[in-house]
A and B are shown apart, each in its own frame.
Chain A
Amino acid sequence: QKEVEQDPGPLSVPEGAIVSLNCTYSNSAFQYFMWYRQYSRKGPELLMYTYSSGNKEDGRFTAQVDKSSKYISLFIRDSQPSDSATYLCAMSGGLNTGFQKLVFGTGTRLLVSP
């Protein structure tokens, strides 16, 4: 079993839809959770960063972490064609014991049609 599981998609939605992207994980030591967005032929860029459980909102994007269920989500409201990209979840343990390697999901490809 992979440490981080993510549905590869593609997920196709019409413009304006609410999108839900998800990852599950098995390592209870993970405390830092990230979402990266990767456009075609580009490197990933950080979209959202959260620590421990709870929600974080940034514009149309909301990141949600449920540590009890080992489940994280990224919600995109009012989705736009420019949101079409691959979304990668990533996570790591604490920072106070030296470098903590990031573990990535395989990415979900999102397609938003006009």
Chain B
Amino acid sequence: DVKVTQSSRYLVKRTGEKVFLECVQDMDHENMFWYRQDPGLGLRLIYFSYDVKMKEKGDIPEGYSVSREKKERFSLILESASTNQTSMYLCASTTGTGTPGANVLTFGAGSRLTVL
């Protein structure tokens, strides 16, 4: 089974702090994603990456950046955290485009971030 591991389950940060959320997958998947999940708004795509050093903006990229230096690792960075970034952050991965599994996401357990 594919495993997607998010290193931090719960974080509490202060406004203005720089925040790193790390995600690692162990099945050689090409695509990796960062979502945030909020009550009533569902899952919203922040950024995704289809290859090492490649990234694409999702629906809500403002205030976030990402880094993918290795295939298995995808990091989400909040340069200056704000209270409206308090949320559950979910990392996910899929196989390469064009394959039957390309749109089946495997999620990590999530990182719940609170910004005070």
Contact = CB atoms under 8 A, between A and B. Distances in A.
Interface of A: 6, 8, 32, 34, 36, 41-46, 49, 88, 90, 92, 95-96, 98-102, 104-107
A43 B98 contact: no
Contacts of B45: 101
B31 A99 contact: yes
B104 A106 contact: no
B103 A32 contact: yes
A95 B104 contact: no
B49 to A, nearest CB: 11
Interface of B: 4, 31, 40-43, 45, 48, 50, 58, 90, 92, 97-100, 102-110, 112
Contacts of B31: 99
Contacts, number: 59
A45 B107 contact: yes
Contacts of B97: 95, 98-99
28 contacts: A6-B42, A8-B40, A34-B104, A36-B105, A36-B107, A41-B112, A42-B109, A42-B110, A43-B4, A43-B90, A44-B105, A46-B105, A88-B43, A95-B97, A95-B99, A95-B100, A95-B102, A95-B103, A98-B98, A99-B48, A99-B97, A100-B102, A100-B103, A101-B45, A102-B103, A102-B105, A105-B42, A106-B41
Contact of B42 (A45, A92, A106): A106
Chain B binding surface, main DSSP class: loop
Contacts of B48: 99
